[in-house]
Structure 1
Amino acid sequence: MNPNYPYDIHFPVNLEQGKKYPVIFTLHGKGSNERNMFGLVAPLAEDFIIIGIRGNLQLGGGYQYYDLKSLGNPVREMFDRAAADLEAFIHYATEKYPVDPDKRYLLGFSQGAILSMTLALTMGEQLKGIVALNGYIPEFVKTEYALRRMKNVSVFASYGEYDSVFPVRIGHETAAYLQEQTEHLTFKLYPSDHGVTEENQLDFLNWFKQDAGLNH
């Protein structure tokens, strides 16, 4: 299979033959790229395979995974295709690389967080966990997609209290919805705009280590 997305892959330095590794797939925000995301998880590069997936649609100097009709209103056909293609990509990478299929994580910011939460709902327990930074779940995903049980999927969702793109109210609504779907939700607010603070980064890095059982 030919993957539908360009991507960057980083392996742990001391890769052991025959060993399977936990993986983090990163999904960037609108107009950004996969390299911007690597910095967020670089401290985990000794223990995880990190795969940065680049959106396949050019936008200014960066990329996106789908287009919008208006804020919070994705072009449905493009969104549907992105959700299906990303799921296929996750399976492709799991077969191609020494990925532990029981320890697959997604980390997404903004548009990437929207897709990460969507994939957690459609792939369910095929994923071990997701980190969703400043995103929401489109209404049509909740009502029209085929959703799987995600009771045991770990979710770290965070939001900027002063987010000027998606009001913090959306963060609270998203957390309330996720609370009903999973028994393993961590929801945090940070005194920031639409971005990732140092404290936010430290919190999710620790969350990854703990969730993957890597506290050494």
Structure 2
Amino acid sequence: MSTHENITAQSLTTFVHRFIPASAPATAQQQVPTLLLLHGTGGNEEDLLSLGNMLFPGAALLSPRGNVLENGMPRFFRRLAEGVFDLEDLRQRTQELTAFVRAAAEAYHFDPSNVIAVGYSNGANIAASMLLASPGVLRGAILLRPMVPFIPEQLPDLATTAVFVSAGRMDPIVPMAQTEQLIQLLKRAGANVRVHWLNGGHGISHEDVRAARSWLATI
């Protein structure tokens, strides 16, 4: 095995994950994406598979399980308290997830330029971190109940990146100001951002799914 192959294999085994190949045919209007499914705290690699199928039936699905445990519950990075992130761990875990996505594209033969993250809560936060720290890895992202992961010293160029943000006005975990700050960060970086506010809390609703699916069909 070459050094490159060895690095790819190591990165692929970093995460327990599921991969489901695309089954939908590409059309002249839209190529079939790979949806990178990123669960919330306490979730796993099975949690968002049905959501991915609802958002884009027949899309390829890549669903890793977070490697950090908080009281036995999987997460994608450590936090010091509710809403207070361990920024060094976040940086390392973002790099780790980025390498995993690249290795998976090579191993499973999907287009690395057509990966769209679908993240919920903690998963949305690491997806936002990927956008800010690893521009170009994600073509776009659906961020459900996100917060600001970190403030970059220099904004990335996200001019070719599309982002859908869905937030609840009555979310007890994510303050509206946090979501607004993230939206402004992404816009200042040049991302094409669509925002959907709903009169709900932190859980994913049918309204989230309908709005995100409608947006996904346009990009």
TM over 0.5: yes
- 8 Å Cα contact 2:53/2:59 also seen in 1: no
1:98, distance to aligned residue in structure 2 (A): 2.5
1:79, distance to aligned residue in structure 2 (A): 1.2
Inter-partner Cα distance in structure 1 for 2:188 and 2:76: 27
Select 2:83's aligned residue among 57, 67, 72.
72
The answer as to 2:48 corresponding to 1:40 is no
Letter in 2 for 1:47: G
How far does the alpha carbon of each residue in 1:137-161 deviate from its partner, in whole angstroms, 9 at most, with x for none? 233x423xx6531111000011110
Pair 56,15 (structure 1): closer, same or farther in 2 beyond 3 Å: farther
Q: Which runs of 5+ in 2 are unaligned?
A: 1-8
Letter in 1 for 2:51: L
Letter in 1 for 2:162: S
Matched with 1:174 is: 182
* Aligned-residue RMSD, C-alpha: 2.1
- Give the TM-score of the pair, scaled to structure 2: 0.85
Matched with 2:15 is: 5
Matched with 2:201 is: 193
Task: After TM superposition, list the pairs within 5 Å mapping 1:135-150 onto structure 2.
Answer: 135-139=146-150, 141-143=151-153, 147-150=155-158
After the TM superposition, which of the residue ranges 58-67 and 118-127 deviates more from structure 2? 58-67
Letter in 1 for 2:210: L
Matched with 1:52 is: 63
After the TM superposition, which of the residue ranges 7-16 and 62-71 deviates more from structure 2? 7-16
Letter in 2 for 1:118: S
Inter-partner Cα distance in structure 2 for 1:72 and 1:189: 20
- Give the TM-score of the pair, scaled to structure 1: 0.86
Matched with 1:206 is: 214
Matched with 2:6 is: none
- 8 Å Cα contact 2:155/2:189 also seen in 1: no
Select 1:120's aligned residue among 131, 136, 154.
131
- 8 Å Cα contact 1:72/1:138 also seen in 2: no
Inter-partner Cα distance in structure 1 for 2:24 and 2:209: 25
Inter-partner Cα distance in structure 2 for 1:196 and 1:14: 25
1:85, distance to aligned residue in structure 2 (A): 0.3
Letter in 1 for 2:178: I
Q: Which runs of 5+ in 1 are unaligned?
A: 212-216
After the TM superposition, which of the residue ranges 156-165 and 25-34 deviates more from structure 2? 25-34
Select 1:184's aligned residue among 192, 195, 198.
192
1:49, distance to aligned residue in structure 2 (A): 0.6
- 8 Å Cα contact 2:148/2:179 also seen in 1: no
Secondary structure at 2:119's aligned position in 1? strand
Task: After TM superposition, list the pairs within 5 Å mapping 1:90-129 onto structure 2.
Answer: 90-129=101-140
Pair 44,133 (structure 1): closer, same or farther in 2 beyond 3 Å: closer
1:43, distance to aligned residue in structure 2 (A): 2.5
1:180, distance to aligned residue in structure 2 (A): 1.3
The answer as to 2:163 corresponding to 1:152 is no
- 8 Å Cα contact 1:190/1:197 also seen in 2: no
Matched with 1:214 is: none
- 8 Å Cα contact 2:196/2:211 also seen in 1: no
